[in-house]
Amino acid sequence: MVDSDELVVLVDQRDTPIGLAPKLAAHRDGLLHRAVSVLLFDDTGRVLLQRRAAGKYHSPSLWSNTCCGHPRPNESSHDAACRRLREEMGIANCPIEFVGWFVYRAEGLGALIEFEVDHVYVGRWSGPPHPDPLEVASWRWCTLDELRGDLASSPRSHTVWLPKLLAHLGMVLHADGQPHRVPHMTSVPE
**Catalytic residue ranges:** 68, 116
188: Cβ contacts below 8 Å, ≥ 6 apart: 102, 103, 104, 164, 167, 168
Q: How would you classify the pairing of strands 112-124 and 33-41?
A: parallel
> Are the CB atoms for 123 and 94 separated by under 8 Å?
yes
**CA-to-CA separations, 29 to 12, 23, 40, 125, 172, in angstroms, rounded:** 15, 10, 31, 36, 31
- CA dihedral for 120, 170, 156, 25, sign (positive or negative): positive
SS (H, E, C) 29-62: HCCCEEEEEEEEECCCCCEEEEEECCCCCCCCCC
